Structure 1
Amino acid sequence: MSIVTCKVSSIEKLNDFLYRIFLAPQQAVSYKAGQYVSVVMGEKDKRHFSIANAPSSEVIELHIGATPENSYAMQVIEKMQSDGQVEVEIANGEAYLREQSVRPMIIVAGGTGFAYAKSIIEQVVALKLTNPVHLYWGVKEQDHFYLEEQAKQWDETYQNIHFHPVVELADEQWQGAQGYVHQAVLKDFSDLSAFDVYVVGRFEMAKVVREDFVKQNGNVEHIYGDAFSFI
């Protein structure tokens, strides 16, 4: 895998813990919707983040959740801020959008996994795919929906795209689905055999999602998630 130098075009803090970064590769690159970059921090230190935009763009968008307690991500932010550029491997991962598939899709995203979902949905829109797409975005608290308006806009604009927000620790005012995000999928679809499923989130989350979806007729060959390579 070749390493590409990227200029840091902008770093925007979206809330107390999340940064939106745009990188400008200094040479032509290609990748598939749903793949990730590995930021090179050292010879054997590469840190992985989902690409948050479709491949048609000339920039690479990242959503990085980072706090002082999370050194894995915070050190990357600090390096970008101080150096103004980073070296990355682009086009990593096998959980990319299967563009030729005509099966309906379920995307299960936890937290900043919305970046992964955003890349896939932008590509669905760009290619004018008509497959039904169900985006289940789960967060711990309602105010963690950092780009909720974008997700709502897809739902309102495109007949085949449906947004299902899920809050784990919901307050009394929340009217939507509550609990773990994948449980909302299981409640809505009793038979998952027809779906392509894309999963992004913590390793332990991905493991449980796959196990529970298979119990509900999900086809393991059509459940995609890069976390599965590590568990």
Structure 2
Amino acid sequence: MQPVTCKITSIEKLNTFLYRVFLQPVEPVSFKAGQYVSIVMGENDKRHFSIANAPTGNQIELHIGATPDNNYAMQVIEKMQNEGVVDAEIGNGVAYLRENSKRPIILVAGGTGFSYVKSLLEQIVDLQLENPVYLYWGVKEYSHFYFADEACGWANDHKNIHFHPVIELPEAQWQGHQGYVHQAVLNEFKDLSAFDIYVVGRFEMAKIAREDFVKQGALIEHIYGDAFAFI
């Protein structure tokens, strides 16, 4: 895929480790909801980040989790801040939304993987799809739900969308799901054979989730996640 030069139109720090970035490609591009961009850092160095918006408009939204000890992401943020432009391959990945499927949908996101499901959800809403959608977003602590209001808003505004926040290490007063995010799905659905399941998160989480979902009836051809290409 030929890289496209993108201007950095905005970099906003959402919390201590997360940056919301908007890219403006200098030429028209196309992608599907759920695909990712590859930022070109060198001849053999491309850094991958989920696209956080539906394929409407003319900008690309990214949510980049970056701390000083995370060179993979922090070097990208520094390049964007210092140079104001990047070259990017736009529209990589095969875990895009199956828009013609009539199956109910489970979205499983860990941490900043929410950016991936945000793209899917925006497209589901834009297309007015009526599939039941169950969003499970897992984080380590409550403060990491950086887009909780938006997720709750989708659930409140659309009767087919259901939001289930999951906290791995909750405070004592937390009344919702706790533990690993994929385990919350297993606890809620004893038979996963009817679902399209989209998974995003750390590779080890994605691997375990897929294995456990299949044990509970999920069809492997209906489990989507770009992490699976690397594990």
TM-score where L is the length of structure 2: 0.99
Residue 183 of structure 1 aligns to a residue whose secondary structure is: helix
Structure 1 residue 157 displacement after superposition? 0.2
**Could you tell me how far apart the structure 2 residues matched to 1:157 and 1:211 are?**
33
* Equivalent residue, structure 2, for 1:165: 165
2:42 maps to a residue whose letter is G
* Equivalent residue, structure 2, for 1:34: 34
* Equivalent residue, structure 2, for 1:197: 197
**Could you tell me how far apart the structure 2 residues matched to 1:182 and 1:216 are?**
12
Structure 1 residue 152 displacement after superposition? 0.3
- Residue correspondence of structure 1 range 14-163 to structure 2 within 5 A: 14-163=14-163
Q: Count matched residues.
A: 231
Residue 9 of structure 1 aligns to a residue whose secondary structure is: strand
Structure 2 gaps of 5+ residues are none
Residue 169 of structure 2 aligns to a residue whose secondary structure is: coil
Cα distance per residue 1:145-193 (max 9 Å; x no partner): 0010000000000011110000000011211100000000000000000
**Could you tell me how far apart the structure 1 residues matched to 2:12 and 2:173 are?**
29
Answer yes or no: is 1:180 the counterpart of 2:180.
yes
1:105 maps to a residue whose letter is I
1:228 maps to a residue whose letter is F
* Equivalent residue, structure 2, for 1:221: 221
**Could you tell me how far apart the structure 2 residues matched to 1:62 and 1:176 are?**
28
Cα distance per residue 1:29-82 (max 9 Å; x no partner): 000000000000000000000000000121000000000000000000000000
1:94 maps to a residue whose letter is V
Cα distance per residue 1:109-157 (max 9 Å; x no partner): 0000000000000000010100001010000111000010000000000
Runs of 4+ in 1 over 3 A off after TM superposition: none
Cα distance per residue 1:66-113 (max 9 Å; x no partner): 000000000000000000010000000000000000000000000000
2:32 maps to a residue whose letter is K
Cα distance per residue 1:190-211 (max 9 Å; x no partner): 0000000000001100000000
**Could you tell me how far apart the structure 1 residues matched to 2:10 and 2:228 are?**
32
Residue 123 of structure 1 aligns to a residue whose secondary structure is: helix
Residue 96 of structure 1 aligns to a residue whose secondary structure is: coil
Structure 1 residue 2 displacement after superposition? 1.3
2:13 maps to a residue whose letter is K
**Could you tell me how far apart the structure 2 residues matched to 1:144 and 1:190 are?**
28
**Could you tell me how far apart the structure 2 residues matched to 1:149 and 1:58 are?**
25
Residue 116 of structure 1 aligns to a residue whose secondary structure is: helix
TM-score where L is the length of structure 1: 0.99
